[in-house]
Chain A
């Protein structure tokens, strides 16, 4: 398998995630898109690690997965709280945090 393909895959996944974060209105979907972006980066790390014959990239992947898990836990807790407070999870209606 060529590394080039893996880089392209990673880029495609990242852009899909990015568009998801920027465009989708459901907070859950936004969070999933965020995970997609993180995992796109993970793929890039792993493939670079293989390509360069070092373990540094794989170490970073473990790190990223850990932090992503923690982040997701907090984010989902917030989503539950938001839903209980305002009764919906539409992100473009949550505009109270301004001025």
Chain B
């Protein structure tokens, strides 16, 4: 179905960006906030309207398109600026605009008093535009435009407080690391385009590609799949390109919530789900996705155990949860991956915004060792934080439980026992580190310094109301995807609404059935892990009041230092990539190429001219009669030439 209002989802955030970016300073902060928020709200309202339209259509034919104009028309290649909405898109759209809108409201309170208020909202709206373009595009080239757009906005917003050196560097790090991944993405795109072109298909539309994908040989599909996944590891912070995300916490907290937890970093998962028709035919590439996802999940969770900065714990947690999503799509359970993407957007945005509220209350303190005992001082923040923490730990009944469990079940059912085990252990670590954060921040005795303690205050309503809405979503969001196993217990047929809704979008992998008893044991196992993790954190940080950091440092000094220093990955990258590059830049590009070749050419041409003129000026003797003679000789030779020719 063609529906021309789809484009307005994009236009309003773009307008908001233009207005706030160009004249925002003159409008005043109140107007800026209103413009930015209403732009996103209109998009959200349109998405909800289209969602209702989509629900009224038959399940198999849920597709809305909007062709804006022909974008590229080069020879026989035609690429339209065309938007497309199918069940997968609408899930992403609802998450992006819904969570995005709540974060916009929160930002009004959080950024209150910042001197670059209008610049912040302009960037935020530009980000919304790029992210929506990424999600809405109906071909992979247009998707790449959005893909780069969100990368740019991420860079701008991480380095938002650019006068701080660390923020500016973090922005650069994010941008350059992403560039490495995007290089892989581009190569994959070119390879895919040329593979299709050699079969006479000169378009990169998702639907056309899906229809003709079987024409292309599996080897090429595997390479394309892996190259596109390289792009995803950059954008979604997976091994080995995850290093930028922890540093990205230098940005304002709403940015961490919106871009580096809920939306942009999930773009890689979305891309793989969108390209599912390709990955289904390239099982080796999917295997790579699953392995990298599983390793990243465990790896990042171990680092998260020992971090002391409240936002960094959440950053590593995000990397770890993104790993889960890649496990989900990697084992062919695309809807499970997208389901976790959605629930994660709720509870991780909530965790970040809650952390922002804590930081706000403590006048900018981020170190958990200087927090503690905040439970009664900021009760609303504490309550919503607890809800999100329970959700991410996988406590039964909350959203994180359903989505995480469906991923683990799919991993086990498809025979990826090792990857399942990685995820299973990660579940324990997740519960532990998130409750470590809770106990260090909200419980125990207060370790605040005097100045901060005097000013502790609950955040204003404009910040707490979005938190409460997100908390509600984190709690109930899982009930649209209840596993059939649990649905049967209460006599609810087709309880897995989410999977059924997305089913038409995804190519089916060979179905793996497993006995009910196995599935039940898996579920009980992961519940046990979650509760064990919470209990363990409680025992260590509350009951025994032992100083785990010092304890661990004494008993396992090597491991503790390894984790605290994040496995020295930054140092290793520094040594094997950055140092050689810098050395090369300094000793070859600068001292040889720039100084000798570039400067040499410029100075050399000047020197040649100077040398030539010192020699040639001798001709000018000042003797008038010499000039006359030379002139005569010249005239005579010209004449002689013409006469004697």
Contact = CB atoms under 8 A, between A and B. Distances in A.
Nearest to A27: B624
Nearest to A23: B625
Given A18-B632, A99-B617, A94 B624 contact: yes
B554 interface: no
B625 A96 contact: no
A22 B632 contact: yes
Instruction: Give the interface residue-count category, chain B.
Output: 10 to 19
Given A18-B632, A22-B632, A95 B625 contact: no
A44 to B, nearest CB: 15
A98 B623 CA distance: 8
A76 interface: no
Nearest to B631: A22
A18 B633 CA distance: 12
Contacts of B624: 91-92, 94
A99 B620 contact: yes
Interface in B581-637: 617, 620-625, 628-629, 632
Contacts of A18: 632
A97 interface: yes
Interface string B10-28: 0000000000000000000
Contacts of A96: 622
A21 B629 CA distance: 9
Contacts of A99: 617, 620, 622
A92 B625 CA distance: 7
Contacts of A97: 622
A29 to B, nearest CB: 12
A16 B428 CA distance: 115
B632 A95 contact: no
A22 B629 contact: yes
Interface string A82-97: 0000000001101111
Contacts of B623: 92, 95
Interface string A11-35: 0000000100111000000000000
Contacts of A98: 620-622
A97 B617 CA distance: 12
Nearest to B628: A22
A21 B622 contact: no
Residue among B617, B625, B629, B632 with most chain A CB within 10 A: B625
B478 to A, nearest CB: 91
Nearest to A94: B624
A94 B626 CA distance: 12
B625 A22 contact: yes
Contacts of A21: 625, 628
A57 to B, nearest CB: 21
Nearest to B621: A98
Interface string A50-74: 0000000000000000000000000
B619 to A, nearest CB: 10
Contacts of A92: 623-625
Nearest to A21: B628
A68 to B, nearest CB: 18
A73 to B, nearest CB: 20
Contact of A95 (B621, B628, B629): B621
A62 B617 CA distance: 40
A98 B622 CA distance: 5
Nearest to A19: B632
A88 to B, nearest CB: 14
Interface of B: 617, 620-625, 628-629, 632
15 contacts: A22-B632, A23-B625, A91-B624, A91-B625, A92-B623, A92-B624, A94-B622, A94-B624, A95-B621, A95-B622, A95-B623, A96-B622, A98-B621, A99-B617, A99-B620
Interface of A: 18, 21-23, 91-92, 94-99
Q: 7 smallest A-B Cβ distances: which pairs?
A: A98-B622, A95-B622, A22-B628, A97-B622, A98-B620, A99-B617, A22-B629
Given A94-B622, A94-B624, A98-B620, 4 more contacts: A21-B625, A22-B629, A99-B617, A99-B622
